[in-house]
Amino acid sequence: MTFENAPLPGVILCKPQRFRDVRGFFMEFYHAQKYMAGGVKEVFVQDSRSRSIKGVLRGLHYQPIRQQAKLVSCTHGEIFDVAVDVRRGSPTFGQWMGIVLSEENAWQLFIPKGFAHGFCVVSDVAEIFYKTSEFYDVSDDRGIRWDDPEIAIKWPIERPILSEKDKVLPFLKDAKCCG
**pLDDT greater than 80 at residue 179:** no
Is the pLDDT score of 15 beyond 80?
yes
Q: Of these residues, 61, 62, 76, 117, which one is catalytic? A: 61
User: Is the predicted pLDDT of residue 16 greater than 80, yes or no?
Assistant: yes
State the pLDDT at residue 177: 86
Using H for helix, E for strand and C for coil, what is the string for 128-163?
EEEEECCCCCHHHCEECCCCCCCCCCCCCCCCCECC
**Rounded mean pLDDT, 134-142:** 96
Q: Percent of the chain beyond pLDDT 90?
A: 91
What is the per-residue pLDDT across 31-84, written as a single tens digit (0 to 9) for each?
A: 999 999 999 999 999 999 999 999 999 999 999 999 999 999 999 999 999 999
Does residue 179 fall inside a structural domain?
no
Residue 61 designated active-site: yes
d(Cα 148, Cα 169) in Å, to the nearest integer? 10
Assess whether pLDDT exceeds 90 at residue 121. Answer: yes
Q: What are phi and psi of 20, to 5 degrees?
A: -110, 145
Domain hosting residue 97, numbered range: 2-174
Q: pLDDT tens, 101-119?
A: 999 999 999 999 999 999 9
- Number of domains observed in the structure of the chain: 1
For residue 46, report the phi and psi dihedrals to the nearest 5 degrees: -145, 140
Can you tell me the distance from the alpha carbon of 67 to that of 32, in angstroms, rounded to the nearest whole number? 20
> CATH number, domain at 168?
2.60.120.10
- pLDDT (0 to 100) of residue 39: 96
Within 13 Å, how many C-alpha atoms sit on residue 104's CB side?
Answer: 5
The phi, psi pair for 140, rounded to 5°, reads: -110, 10
Between 153 and 158, residue with greater pLDDT = 153
Our answer to whether residue 62 is catalytic in this structure is no
Residue 151 domain-assigned?
A: yes
Q: Is 62 part of a structural domain of the chain? A: yes
pTM of the predicted model, to two decimals? 0.95
Of 62, 76, 130, 136, which is the active-site residue?
130
- Asked, for residue 121, whether it belongs to a domain, the answer is yes
